[in-house]
Amino acid sequence: MGEVNIKDMSKPSSGLGSANHPLAPPENNSTHLQDSNDHPQRHHIITQDKPISKMTKTMRPWWKDSTVYQIYPASFKDSNGDGIGDLQGIIESLDYIKSIGVDVIWVCPMYDSPQIDMGYDISNYEAVYPPYGTVQDMERLISEVHSRGMRIILDLVVNHTSDQHQWFKESRSSKDNSKRDWYIWKPAKYDADGNRTPPNNWRSNFGGSAWSWDEQTQEYYLHLFCPEQPDLNWENETTRQAIYHSAMIFWLEKGCDGFRVDTVNMYSKPPGLPDAPVIDPGSQWQEAGFVYCNGPRMNEYLEEMNAILARYDAMSVGECPFTPDMSVAVGYVSEEKKRLSMVFQFDSVNVGMGNVFKFQTTPFNYKLADVKDAINRTQGLLIGTDAWTTSFIENHDQARCISRFGDDSPQWRERSGKMLAMLFGSLSGTLFIYQGQEIGMINMPKEWRIEDEYKDVDSTNYYNMVAKRYNNDPAELKKAHEALQHLARDHARTPMQWTASPNGGFTTEEAKPWMRVNTSTKEINVAQQNSRKDSVLAFWRRMLETRKTYNNVLVHGEFEIIDKDNETVFSLLKKGSEGKALVVCNFSGSPSQVPKVDELDKMKLVMSNVDGESEALRPWEGRIYLVQ
C-alpha cells in the first residue's frame, strides 16, 4: 500500500490475505506517557452517490447513555447448520437483542483469520472470515441494526496482525522489502557460550518468549501474543496510515459506529525494549506488561485515531490492561484530550487472579473488600475529572460472573445472577453486557476435561506449561484444572443457549458445534426465560429500563461506597442532580442486615430481586432505594 495522507482518507483500500481454519469450508466457498438521550439519525451504507449522513449532536455523546451487548460470532447463532455461528445468525436474532433493552451491539472479530486466537489474528481487515459470511453480510447487518434504532461497533485489532496477513508475508520475505519495518524485527543476542537468545526476556501473554526466530531472514520478530500474531511497528508512519485506512475507515464508511479497541495501550513500545523485572525465577521469560504498555507515543497515536473517529461521530472503548495509575487512564479518556471515549480497566475482572500467572490461584481467592476496592477505583475515574468510565463484569476473555462472584448452584444461581445485574447495572459509565449474561449462563461443568473440551490457546498453553514444569505431577495438574475451571476464557465461549435441546438451539441437532454446548442449557436458555416473568432475562430487561428511567443518578451519578468494612454486604450510594439511590447487595447465602444510612426512611424501594418484604437482606438479595 502506498503512503496515505491521514487527513484525507476518503477512499477505501483493497484488502489482501486469506485464512484457513480446521472448521472452515473449502476455499472455493469463499507508564511512559507524554504529557443524547435520543438516537440521532443512523449512518447510511456508503455508495458512490450516497454520502454519509451527519449525526445530530446532543448535549451528551450518544455512547454515554448507551448499554452495549457484546456478541462472539462463532458462538452466538448458527444459521446454516455448519456448527459455527455466523452473521446471518446475528441478523436473525436482532429483534431478541433489541428486546433486552440495549442500544448498541459490539461484534467481536469477524475478519478473515486463520483462527489461531479465535479471530484476534487477522489476515485481512477488509474481508470477513468465510464461515461467518461476507462483507455484503456485514453491510446488511449494519443496516439491519440501524433500522432497529440501535448502533453497532466492531473490534479493532491493530497491535498485531496474523502472520498470514499480506503485510507480514512481505515483511518477512527479505530484509530489503519495503514493508520490513512494518513489524518489529531485531537481531539475536548471544550468551557467553555463543548460544542465540531473543532480544529481551519478555514473556508472551500466552506463555513462552515474546520473540520468534525467522530462519530465512535470520532475525527475531516480536509477538506479545501467539507467534502467529506479530506486532505491528507503530513507529512507522506509513504503517499507521495503512492501519487507519484498512482497519478503521473501510468499516466506518460502511456505517460502523465505532470500535472496541483491542490492547489499546500496547502500540508504543519503550525505547530500547528493556528486560522486564524477574518475578518468576523458575522461567527465562518474565511478565512484561508494565514495561511495554503505556509507551511514550501512546497519546500521539490515540489522537490520530480519534481525529478519524470524530469525523463519523464514532465511539472508542479501549482495552487498557496494566494501568493501575488512574492519572494515566484519565489522560486516555479525558474529554478535553480527545483520545478515547472510554476504556476497559480490569480491576473488577482481575479480582481473585494470580499475580505471576492469572491461573496460578485457587477458586474464590478473594474477599468482598477486594471487589469493593476494584469497583471504587474504576468508578473513581469520574470524580473531579472530565473522563468517562465503563461498567462490566463479563466478556469473551472472562469466565462467567455467577460462577466467579455469585453462587451457580441451582438454589442460588438465578438470584445471585440478578443481584450482579443490579450491582453492575447501577454503576456509572457505559454499561457492557456479554451474550448469555442476560440469561445467567454459568461456567462449564467441573468434570469437563481440559484436554478434550477446552479450546482456548490461553487455557491449553497454561495447562501444558504446568504439566511440563512439574513433570505431570497429579497434584499440580489438579490445581491447574481447578483454576481453569474457575477462570478460563473458554467458559464465555461455549455456544449461546437458546433452547433446552442438546445443541441449545445454537445449531441444528444434526450438526456438531465447533465447541460443545454447556449441558446447563437444559435449565438455562432463552426460550424458557422468555416465558417467565421472574427469570434472569426478565430481570435484566427491568434493570435496563430502571437504568434509563433514573439515568441521571444511575448512569451519571457520583459513586460512594458505604459500610466499607462489611464482609458480606456491598452498599453504595449514587448521587445525581435529580436525586439519590442506595444500592445494597448481599454477597452471601445467609441473611444480612441492611446498613444504616441517613435518609433511608425517606427512600422508596424501586427494585429488588426477591419478592415480598423483609427487614433483613435475604441470601443473595439486592435492592435499589431511591429518593428524588
Angle at CA 40, nearest 5°, toward 39 and 46?
120
* Residue 416 · residue 620 · CB < 8 Å: yes
Looking at the domain assignment, is residue 56 inside a domain? no
Has 408 been annotated as catalytic? no
Q: Please report, rounded to a whole number, the percentage of residues in the chain having pLDDT higher than 90.
A: 87
* pLDDT single digits (tens) 217-263: 999 999 999 999 999 999 999 999 999 999 999 999 999 999 999 99
268-327 residue pLDDT tens? 999 999 999 999 998 999 999 999 999 999 999 999 999 999 999 999 999 999 999 999
What's the confidence (pLDDT) of residue 45? 30
Residues 175 and 260 in one domain: no
Which H or E run contains 479? helix 474-487
User: Residue 169: which of 224, 227, 230, 233 has the closest Cα?
Assistant: 230
| Residue 53 pLDDT greater than 90, yes or no | no
DSSP 68-122: EEEE-HHHH--SSSSSS--HHHHHHTHHHHHHHT-SEEEEPP-EE---TTTTSS-
Asked whether residue 295 is domain-assigned, the answer is yes
Q: What are phi and psi of 420, to 5 degrees?
A: -65, -35
Is residue 545 flagged as an active site residue?
A: no
42 confidence band (pLDDT: 50, 70, 90): very low
Does any domain span residue 582? yes
> Is 75:515 a contact under the CB 8 Å cutoff?
yes
State the pLDDT at residue 43.
37
pLDDT of residue 36: 35
Same domain, 197 and 295: no
Rounded CA-CA distance 156/108 in Å is 9
User: 606 is in which domain, residue-wise?
Assistant: 558-627
* Residue 431 pLDDT level (bands cut at 50, 70, 90): very high
Q: What is the rounded distance in angstroms from the CA atom of residue 466 to the CA atom of residue 244? A: 40
CATH number at residue 609: 2.60.40.1180
- State the DSSP H helix or E strand holding residue 303, giving kind and residue range, or none if neither: helix 298-310
Q: How far apart are CA 331 and CA 299, in angstroms?
A: 8
The whole-number average pLDDT for the span 188-207 is 95
Residue with cell 464514532: 314
- Torsion angle, CA of 476/458/333/222, rounded to 10 degrees? 110
Whether 5 has a pLDDT exceeding 90, the answer reads: no
Question: Is residue 592, in this structure, part of any structural domain at all?
Answer: yes
Q: Are residues 157 and 296 in the same domain?
A: yes
Find the CATH number of the domain harbouring 307. 3.20.20.80
Kindly state whether residues 193 and 79 are assigned to the same domain. no
Q: Which of 551, 541, 626, 581 lies closest to 58, judged by CA?
A: 551
Q: Is 518 contained in some domain?
A: yes
Cα–Cα distance list, 468 to 250, 362, 462, 485 (Å): 45, 20, 10, 20
The answer to whether position 467 is within a domain reads: no
| Together in a domain, 172 and 105 | no
- Give the separation between CA 273 and CA 263, rounded to whole angstroms: 18
Reference 625, options 546, 552, 511; nearest CA is: 546
3-state percent helix, strand, coil for the chain, nearest multiple of 5: 30, 15, 55
Q: Which of 267, 83, 165, 204 is nearest to 458 (CA)?
A: 204
The number of angstroms, rounded, from the C-alpha of 131 to the middle of its chain's C-alpha atoms is: 22
C-alpha of 265 from chain center: 14
Comparing C-alpha atoms, which of 141, 278, 265, 262 is closest to residue 200?
A: 278
475 pLDDT tier (thresholds 50, 70, 90):
very high
For every residue of 434-450, DSSP letters joined together read: ETTGGGT--PPPTTS-H
Q: Are residues 260 and 218 in the same domain?
A: no
Three-class HEC string of 373-412: HHHHHHHHHHCCCCCCCEECCCCCCCCCHHHHHCCCCCCC
Is 518 within 8 Å of 454 (Cβ atoms)? no
Mean pLDDT confidence for 490-519: 97
Together in a domain, 174 and 122: no
Question: Structurally, how many domains does the chain consist of?
Answer: 3
Which three cell numbers, joined as nine digits, stand for 251? 468499516
In the listed set 513, 530, 547, which residue is the last one of a domain according to the structure? Answer: 530
- Other residues' Cβ atoms within 10 Å of the Cβ of residue 227: 17
Residue 16 in this model has a pLDDT that exceeds 60: no
- Say whether pTM exceeds 0.85: yes
Q: What is the pLDDT of residues 592-621, one digit of tens each?
A: 999 888 777 788 999 999 999 899 999 999
Reported as a pLDDT band with limits 50, 70 and 90, residue 38 is very low
* 124/246 same-domain check: yes
Catalytic residue among 155, 257, 319, 408: 319
Q: What is the rounded distance in angstroms from the CA atom of residue 337 to the CA atom of residue 210? A: 32
Residues 213 and 109 in one domain: no
For helices 413-425 and 536-549, what crossing angle results, to 10°? Answer: 20
pLDDT at residue 88 greater than cutoff 50: yes
pLDDT value at position 28?
A: 34
Q: Nearest-CA neighbor of 378 among 316, 338, 432, 421? A: 432
Describe the crossing of helices 457-469 and 474-487 by its angle, rounded to 10 degrees: 160
User: Does residue 185 share a domain with residue 152?
Assistant: no
Round to whole Å and give the CA distance between 423 and 110.
Answer: 31
Exactly one of 262, 287, 458, 621 is catalytic; name it: 262
Residue 284, domain member (yes or no): yes
268 shares its domain with 286: yes
Average pLDDT, the chain: 91
Give the pLDDT score at 32. 39
What is the average pLDDT across 20-29?
34
Q: Is the pLDDT of residue 24 over 90?
A: no
Q: What is the pLDDT of residues 95-105, one digit of tens each?
A: 999 999 999 99
Which cell is 30 given? 469463499
- CATH code of the domain containing 211: 3.90.400.10
Closest CA to 433 of 382, 396, 484, 378: 396
* In-domain check, residue 550: no
* Same domain membership, residue 136 and residue 274: yes
Residue 570 β-bridge partners: 585
